[in-house]
DNA sequence: TATATCTCCTGCGGGC
DNA sequence: TGCCCGCAGGAGATAT
């Protein structure tokens, strides 16, 4: 499941393999993969042709290719299962190939997505808070790996919210790049239960939590991201290894590496949360 | 306005 | 063997 580290691995791959290349042609094989491009697949394909990829950028889980000469951006979201693959055209189509772009290098840039939660869309570039980014990404907060990430500002936002801390961590307008896996890992490191109300957590505690969020992402990035199955791969089709280092996520009934208590799994926001019952006690009063 | 819940989607595994 | 159901979860839409 691609979260920030996985998306950054993909961005680096694109930076190395497709920046500087020109798009010769585009074939959209599944309309849902371009549903965020409101003018449709024909428009997307036509506007991508003869555009040169000038840069590969990222904020949170969104990545985009800056296009010249149109000065627009091809925004890519991997969703749950999206892959950006640089392939030899002779390689048979993947089962879930959704979009194919033929580059002037003679290679394919393929978007493969089993669950079709991801997709491509074109967007205009705007400047927000001194950073140029696609207008469709303008509402996304800076992520912990952004050099201009401001933990104090995020702590202030968190303390002003009336919600639970895990819910807030997953809110991409507060802090971006965090998904279910790294939220659970950071909360485990900070010894905080995800149902704790944000406004009841002290500023130092929130600062430590944000530090753990950044740490866990950097460590995952060093190891090429997290992968539980074949759904996440980098542009060369290789998986990450960070899943071997997870302390909470997916560790149900395994002993906590800190205290030995069996890790519990709970339903939260229609998905699963993993935590240590001893290190991360539930709050006495849970909203709702 | 802020927060919570629903929905989209596909493949896999478990139960019957 | 085959069918049904639950699960995985990011983010926009919708409800409260």
What are A12's two structure tokens? 């680096």
> pTM here?
0.92
Residues 6+ apart with CB under 8 A from A189: A212, A215, A216, A247
At residue A231, the pLDDT reads 45
Residue A3 is among the residues annotated as catalytic for this protein: yes
What positions of strand C are covered by protein, i.e. any atom < 7 Å from a CB? 7-12
A115 CA – C9 C1', rounded, Å: 10
| Statement: the CB of A267 is under 7 Å from strand B | no
List beta partners, residue A45.
Answer: none
At residue A288, the pLDDT reads 37
At residue A201, the pLDDT reads 95
- Nearest-nucleotide field for A265 (CA, C1'): C7
For A147, phi then psi, to 5°, come to: -55, -25
A213 CA – C2 C1', rounded, Å: 45
Residues A48-77: tens digit of each pLDDT: 999 999 999 999 999 999 999 999 999 999
At residue A243, the pLDDT reads 62
Low-confidence ranges of chain A (pLDDT < 70): 1, 225-244, 285-288
Residues A212-252: tens digit of each pLDDT: 999 999 998 888 755 444 444 555 554 454 565 789 998 88
At residue A285, the pLDDT reads 60
| Percent of residues, chain A, with pLDDT higher than 90 | 69
């Amino acid at each position: 499941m691609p979260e920030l580290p996985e998306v950054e691995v993909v961005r680096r791959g694109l930076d190395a393999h497709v920046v500087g290349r020109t798009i010769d042609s585009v074939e959209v094989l599944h309309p849902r993969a371009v549903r965020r491009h409101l003018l449709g697949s024909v428009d997307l394909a036509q506007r991508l042709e003869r555009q040169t990829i000038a840069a590969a950028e990222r904020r949170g889980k969104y990545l985009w290719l800056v296009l010249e000469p149109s000065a627009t951006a091809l925004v890519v979201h991997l969703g749950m299962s999206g892959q950006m693959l640089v392939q030899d055209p002779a390689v048979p189509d993947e089962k879930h190939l959704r979009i194919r772009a033929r580059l002037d290098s003679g290679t394919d840039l393929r978007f493969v997505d089993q669950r079709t939660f991801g997709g491509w869309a074109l967007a205009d570039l705007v400047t927000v808070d001194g950073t140029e980014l696609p207008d469709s990404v303008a509402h996304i907060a800076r992520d912990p790996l952004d050099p201009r990430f401001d933990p104090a500002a995020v702590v202030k936002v968190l303390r002003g919210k009336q919600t639970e801390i895990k819910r807030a961590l997953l809110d991409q307008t507060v802090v971006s790049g965090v998904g279910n896996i790294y939220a659970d890992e950071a909360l485990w490191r900070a010894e905080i239960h995800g149902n704790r109300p944000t406004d009841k957590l002290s500023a130092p505690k929130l600062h430590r939590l944000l530090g753990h969020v950044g740490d866990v992402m950097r460590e995952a990035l060093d190891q090429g991201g997290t992968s539980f199955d074949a759904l996440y791969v980098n542009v060369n089709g290789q998986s990450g290894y960070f899943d071997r280092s997870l302390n909470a996520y997916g560790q149900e009934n395994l002993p906590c590496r800190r205290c030995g208590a069996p890790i519990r799994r709970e339903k939260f926001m229609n998905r699963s949360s993993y935590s240590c019952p001893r290190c991360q006690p539930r709050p006495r009063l849970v909203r709702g």
